[in-house]
Amino acid sequence: MLLQFGFCSPTLCLNCICSAPWLRGLDRLELANSLEEIYVQNLGDSILYQWVEKIREFLTSKSESADADIQKITEETEVDEKDEFFTDPQCFQHNLMKMSDFIMFEDEELPPVKHGEPITDRRSTFQAHLAPVIHPKQVKMVLNKLYENKKIASATHNIYAYRIYCEDKLAFLQDCEDDGETAAGRRLLHLMQILDVCNVMVIVSRWYGGILLGPDRFKHINNSARNILVEENYINSAVEPTKQMGKNRRVKKDKRPEH
């Protein structure tokens, strides 16, 4: 079974690659040792791409070696069908793709995306979108999926933030994006930190209506995000982030440009 960030033991990986009956004896041991070395040197880190590259190098080397041996064989010698993998480039590529697909499978799942209720104020509209994420690659996948929607892709701003809890490192992997709305991404991430949510990504789309909203735009962005987090049961509706931020905290007048 692949772990959360997409790596498993080299022995288990080789046992699962059922499309490689040609990999036996010393060849199998050599590849297993190479993968084991990468695994040990990168404990706690994603090693998928390093494994794929190592397997690619190994197969290329074996293919070239097999081609050299075949040139020495007389015309009367029949080539064993088991060597077809090394002599047939198409077969070589097909098996390599199968290996890559197996190793990368867990990393390819697109999370479900939920959409919140829009908030409209003075012709500007705000709408939040939410998706569960456990790997940074899923963040890009979610964004690509959202941008397939022409309305979302045409939004003036698509602000987002995400938080992923890494159990192996006991730390959060988190980031945010303003998308032109200065400080909006950082404020959104701060809200998620206050609410202590994890393994989730929130995107807020804003369609600018031509009337400046001032600081109210940040209120609508955070309210949209908070509402969808409540709807999807990431937080309790009774949680009041403003209380945790301090009752007597003075609100500074926002002078950031808006468009």
Query: 137 and 155: one domain?
Result: yes
* pLDDT, mean over the chain: 76
Tell me the pLDDT band of 176, cut-offs 50, 70 and 90: very high
Query: 155 and 234: one domain?
Result: yes
Q: Which residues in 44-66 are b (16+ Cβ under 10 Å) and which e?
A: eebbbebbeebbeebbeebbeeb
Q: What is the pLDDT of residue 168?
A: 86
pTM: 0.54
Query: What is the pairing mode between strands 124-132 and 171-177?
Result: unpaired
Domain that holds residue 92: 10-108
- Across residues 195-214, what is the average pLDDT? 96
- Across residues 177-193, what is the average pLDDT? 95
Q: Is the dihedral of CA 62, 65, 71, 75 positive or negative?
A: negative
In a domain, 251, yes or no: no
Which residues make Cβ contacts (< 8 Å) with residue 195, sequence separation at least 6?
226, 229, 234, 235, 239, 241
Tell me the pLDDT band of 4, cut-offs 50, 70 and 90: very low
User: 108, 125, 150 — which closes off a domain?
Assistant: 108
Residue 62, SS3 per DSSP: helix
pLDDT digits (tens, 9 = 90+) for 124-171: 999 999 999 999 899 999 999 999 999 999 999 999 999 999 888 889
Inform me whether the pLDDT recorded for 25 exceeds 80: no
Query: 124 and 58: one domain?
Result: no
Q: What is the pLDDT of residue 247?
A: 41
Query: 135 and 213: one domain?
Result: yes
Closest CA to 103 of 149, 56, 171: 56
Look at the chain and report how many structural domains it folds into. Answer: 2
Inform me whether the pLDDT recorded for 7 exceeds 70: no
Query: 155 and 189: one domain?
Result: yes
Query: 57 and 168: one domain?
Result: no
User: 54, 89, 108 — which closes off a domain?
Assistant: 108
Q: What is the pLDDT of residue 50?
A: 78
Query: 120 and 241: one domain?
Result: yes
Q: What is the pLDDT of residue 173?
A: 93
Give the CATH number, domain containing residue 165. 3.30.230.30
Tell me the pLDDT band of 52, cut-offs 50, 70 and 90: confident
Query: 126 and 194: one domain?
Result: yes
